[in-house]
Amino acid sequence: MIHLRQSWKILRRHDAKFVRAYFLFAAFILACGSTHLLDAVTFWFPAYRLNALVRFITGVVSWITVFYLIRILPVANSLRSHAELEKEITDRKKVENELVVANEQLNAAQEIAKLGHWQWDVAANKVTWSDVLCKIYQIPTNEMSYEAYLQKVHPDDRDFVNAAVEKAFAEKKFPAYTHRILFEDGSEKVLQARGEVQLDSDGNVVRMLGTGQDITEIQKAQQQLVERTHALETSNAELQRFAYVTSHDLQEPLRKITTFASLLEREGNGQVNENGRMYMDKIVQSAGRMQRLIDDILAFSSLRVSNEAYLPTDLNEVVKQVISDMETRIEATGAIIQVNKLPVIDAIPSQMGQLFQNLVSNAIKFSRKDERPVVTITSKLISVDAIENYNLIDDATLNQRGFTYNWGREQFVQIEVIDNGIGFDESYAEKIFEIFQRLHSNADGTGIGLAICKKITDNHHGTISANGAPGKGARFRINLPVSQKIFLATDTKLPV
């Protein structure tokens, strides 16, 4: 009876395996039981023929069961064991838990990015939204029709959005677009929609999948950037106009002051006393300082760079020309200029001339009175790793622009300009490169020369630094890339 009940339960299960085996075993056990029963009955009633028949049936059922077991044994052996099933269940639970964690992380990432996803069943006209997208649209339900979605779009953008969707149906490709949504309180959000179209075997659109991202803050930031860029361009234009005024309107009266003061000093002999001549000298000297200041301001404001400006530049020739231009001053001070061999680099020749002229001029200007000025210019090739605090173009930026670059191959030239002058307190090592900074108030300078040097090295994607000590001279170290190729190719200006 137990086997009959078990067989009945198995028969009702559609996924049961080896059903015939259960019935064969039930028949075999029933036949065996009948045989034993007849053996006992035979003691009182001689039912030998019936006993033989039951034994024959039992033997047939046994052989059928054996052959069936032989047939299904390979299949049965291939089935997983209880331990294997337990392991599979454990692994599946682990994967399910990992999937739950991954979904939670995905939802958190979408929440941070204000990015939700949607699915549109075209046949049922049902749009299903993720929780994040519902939060963006401020709606309580995850399902709505396409027409209900359009009602959430800003009235001024509905025709545009509907036309984009119709285009997706026509071209079987979802176009990315930006649109606004309007809330009951009058507030707006800007969303960016992206998606893809799914087709059936006949090429008909059956489903659309996509994302919607709230880019309201990004749009505001971009608008602020545009406004600030416009303000900067306006400021630069005003600076250019100021430079014109400086070069013309200010220099003309300054030249007249210098000219007439010089004439008065030369032709007023006998009419101007000693104090008067002293005053005239001060006027001429002050006018000269004013003229140099104007010239330096113009030089600083005119330092610009364009990709076409970089040329292979022999720094030996540049320094040779600088020494030639300063020949009179060098001879007057008895300065010794020692120049080691310099390389050829990609540079703006005129700006390299300004760089070396300012550094050599500074070295002579701030020399010690009791010692002959000695200026030494050296150079060596280095790798980018040897440059302290150099801001490389990061790999993400290079990859975004289609470049893979090994910075270890990039060569830089390190130039040092060393003097034996009065030096400076090293706590001012960074401040001296700021415009109008003068460490020595009694020196004849404008405080712009080193700021020009800093701007020139920036234009060449390089660095400049200084070391020194009072009474022990100064050392200026300039690091410049030998080639500007990677910077021109990526159109990148580095904040070095």
Count of domains forming the chain: 4
Same domain, 118 and 201: yes
Same domain, 132 and 46: no
Q: Is residue 220 part of a domain?
A: no
Same domain, 31 and 143: no
Same domain, 205 and 264: no
Same domain, 479 and 341: yes
Q: Is residue 185 part of a domain?
A: yes
Same domain, 200 and 66: no
Q: Is residue 403 part of a domain?
A: yes
Same domain, 207 and 265: no
Same domain, 146 and 7: no
Residue type, 431: K
Token duo for residue 383: 């790798």
Token duo for residue 115: 């990015």
Angle at CA of residue 199, ends 196 and 200, nearest 5°: 160
**Which of 214, 249, 275 corresponds to the end of one domain?**
214
pLDDT tens-place values along the chain, 496 residues long: 555 555 555 555 555 666 677 777 777 788 787 777 877 777 787 777 777 787 788 888 888 878 877 877 777 777 777 787 788 888 888 888 888 888 788 778 778 878 888 898 988 888 888 888 888 888 887 777 888 888 889 999 899 889 988 998 889 998 888 888 888 888 889 888 899 999 988 888 999 999 988 988 888 888 888 888 888 878 777 776 776 666 666 667 777 777 777 777 676 665 667 777 777 777 777 777 677 667 666 666 666 655 457 889 999 999 999 999 888 888 888 899 999 999 999 998 888 988 998 899 888 988 888 889 999 999 998 887 777 766 555 544 544 444 444 455 568 899 999 999 888 878 778 888 887 666 655 555 566 788 888 988 988 888 899 888 888 889 999 999 998 887 776 555 443 3
Cα–Cα distances in angstroms (integers) from residue 130 to residues 158, 208, 215, 218, in the given order:
22, 14, 17, 22
Token duo for residue 167: 């285009």
Q: Is residue 466 part of a domain?
A: yes
Q: Is residue 104 part of a domain?
A: no
Provide the CATH number for the domain around residue 477.
3.30.565.10
Q: 474 with 449: CB under 8 angstroms?
A: no
Q: Is residue 88 part of a domain?
A: no
Q: Which domain holds residue 340?
A: 306-490
Q: Is residue 71 part of a domain?
A: yes
Q: Is residue 99 part of a domain?
A: no
Residue 133: closest CA among 120, 147, 115: 115
